[in-house]
Amino acid sequence: MINVLANDGISNSGVEELKKSGFNIITTNVAQEQLENYINKEDISVILVRSATTVRKELIDKCPGLKIIGRGGVGMDNIDVEYARSKNINVINTPAASSSSVAELVFAHLYGGVRFLHESNRNMPLEGDSNFKKLKKAYAKGVELRGKTIGIIGFGRIGRETAKIALGVGMNVLAYDKFLKETKITLNFMGGNSIDFEIKISPLDELLKKSDFISLHVPAQNQYVIDKKEFELMKNGVGIVNAARGGVINEVELVSALESGKVSFAGLDTFENEPKPEIKLLMHPNISLTPHIGAATNEAQDRIGKELADQISNILK
């Protein structure tokens, strides 16, 4: 019996798929510092993680029985991937499973931002009965997304899904990606109808200057993608969403761009200092906040569980 440790949890459908394939699945959450001991004692061949658990060189060296490291999701910055592969350990992830979920969260932040829902939901409970008219006036200058331009930085799977929603809403899409020149995306509608769109990749500077809204979809970086210089190029009153990784936006510069009015609102799902985001961000009235839940829908977790189960079966059978 092959033992699989899903240390950051796995969906019920994933558990069922793994059981069907004859694996013993353990969903105990083992503390990071106890992992080495647990993996060796319980003879774990497969460890599955999300973003909480890290699998670094030291752990890999001390657990010679590991055959597979699986990441439920896209980014593998919490795993020493190349090192693991050099030790003949398979490293797998589920890049497609959560794309739609993240894209929908981006639009939750965008719709919330343009209609001040993040502020309104803070202030209505406090002043809704005493200051209704004042609040009504304060939040009465919303704008529509239709007809506006969204700049999508990073045009992989999630960037494309974001573009599909944007096109469905009636937005103009600009995309920037280091690895693409142009690309086609297909919008599928109910009843089997579909329509293709050619998306030309823009230079980053052009995207920053022309976009009414900007959404980031890049992996973890060594330096900021959006820093002081990039903010200066943007339109006044731009809205910006980061549901990618903490550290792709300089948060100090973001706050000062919000203060100056250069940025009208920001939607943040990821933060430089997770799990302790800066208090200045948490308290800012013009920031819509979520605690890194982009991929956390029931549907995405089901797809992640099934995808991991299929890959593990294919490797070990």
Residues forming the active site:
245, 274, 292
Cβ(201)–Cβ(226) under 8 Å? no
Torsion of CA 87, 90, 95, 97, to 10 degrees: -150
What span, in angstroms and rounded, lies between the C-alpha atoms of 303 and 297? 10
Residues 298, 19, 305, CA angle at the centre, nearest 5°? 25
Question: Alpha helices, DSSP H only, in 64-142?
Answer: 81-86, 99-114, 117-127, 132-138
What span, in angstroms and rounded, lies between the C-alpha atoms of 313 and 305? 12
Token pair for residue 316?
């070990």
Cβ(151)–Cβ(171) under 8 Å? no
Strands 68-71 and 44-49: parallel
What span, in angstroms and rounded, lies between the C-alpha atoms of 218 and 88? 28
Contacts of 95 (CB under 8 A, 6+ apart): 74, 156, 157
